[in-house]
Chain A
Amino acid sequence: EPEVTQTPSHQVTQMGQEVILRCVPISNHLYFYWYRQILGQKVEFLVSFYNNEISEKSEIFDDQFSVERPDGSNFTLKIRSTKLEDSAMYFCASSAPGVSIQYFGAGTRLSVL
């Protein structure tokens, strides 16, 4: 069964460093998303991406965040200068056109020290 894959599974970084979280969405999906989940809390929307541009972003997704689809398969989330409060699980998701079901990857746990 097709699945969304995310790498790395765990990323440890120092405060102020840049991190790039990588995702490979399901191949025929055209809508891509990033969510985050702080430990023990609900899943929060960050950004949605379609047709090579951001279609919607939340208040969390400030200038420190950016997304990119550098090639036909990868979808990345970059945090330019990490803060302690960026520590969370980051989930990538994708969906097919006309289908509102989103498929989530296993997540990347980001730990900012």
Chain B
Amino acid sequence: GQQVMQIPQYQHVQEGEDFTTYCNSSTTLSNIQWYKQRPGGHPVFLIQLVKSGEVKKQKRLTFQFGEAKKNSSLHITATQTTDVGTYFCAEIFGNEKLTFGTGTRLTIIP
């Protein structure tokens, strides 16, 4: 079946440093969503990317969708302690299931 892999699995950064997680699919993605899950929490929707090469920004977060629609990235500039959590990419078709990536767990060293 389709696999959506993320790297790295874990990332520890000093507060203020940048962070990037990469999402890679074995097949062409129709679209990509990003979710954040705080420790002990539930997934919370961040953004959806649909178009090839699309770039979207939310404050310190920058999301990219690859030209071939097989990969995506999330970049956080100048991390803060509130950024702690696991970041998942996920593919969705319409109102159907989300296929989550393996996730990247971000920890911040104050």
Contacts and interface: CB of A to CB of B under 8 A. Distances in A.
Interface of A: 31, 33, 35, 42-45, 48, 50, 55-56, 58, 91, 93, 95, 97-107
Q: Is the interface of B mostly helix, strand, loop or mixed?
A: strand
A91 B95 contact: no
Given A33-B97, A102-B98, A42 B88 contact: yes
A95 B93 CA distance: 13
A79 B44 CA distance: 26
A17 to B, nearest CB: 25
A29 B54 CA distance: 28
Interface of B: 31, 33, 37, 41-45, 48, 88, 90, 92, 94-103
B70 to A, nearest CB: 19
23 contacts: A31-B95, A33-B98, A42-B101, A42-B103, A43-B43, A43-B90, A43-B98, A43-B100, A44-B100, A48-B96, A55-B96, A56-B97, A58-B97, A93-B98, A98-B95, A99-B95, A100-B31, A100-B92, A101-B48, A102-B98, A104-B43, A106-B41, A106-B42
A107 B42 CA distance: 7
Given A35-B98, A56-B97, 9 more contacts: A33-B97, A42-B100, A42-B102, A43-B37, A56-B96, A100-B95, A101-B48, A104-B44, A106-B41
